Amino acid sequence: MPAADQAARTPPGQHLTRGWPILHAEGIPPFDPASWRFRVTGAVDRTVEWTWDEFRALPSATVTSDIHCVTGWSKLDNTWEGVPFRDIVGAAGPTAAATHALIEAPSAYTANLPLEALDDDDVLFAWSHDGEPLPPEHGGPLRLVVPKRYFWKSVKWAVGVRLLERDVRGYWEERGYHNDADPWAEQRYAWQEGR
Q: For residues 48 and 138, what is the distance between their CA atoms, to the nearest angstrom? A: 26
Domains and CATH numbers, the chain: 3-16+33-97+116-157 (3.90.420.10)
pTM, entire model: 0.92
> What is the Cα–Cα distance from 90 to 18, expressed in whole angstroms?
35
Strand partners, 160: 39, 104
List all residues 6 or more positions away from 126 whose beta carbon is below 8 Å from its beta carbon: 80, 81, 82, 134, 142, 143, 144, 145
> Residues 57, 102: contact at Cβ < 8 Å?
no
In this predicted structure, what is the pLDDT of residue 195?
Answer: 45
* Angstrom distance (rounded) from CA 8 to CA 17: 15
For the chain, 195 residues long, give each residue's pLDDT as a single digit of tens: 666 788 899 999 999 998 888 877 778 999 999 999 999 999 999 999 999 999 999 999 999 999 999 999 999 999 999 999 999 999 999 999 999 999 999 988 999 999 999 999 999 999 999 999 999 999 999 999 999 999 999 999 999 999 999 999 999 999 999 999 999 999 998 876 644
pLDDT in tens, 58-71: 999 999 999 999 99
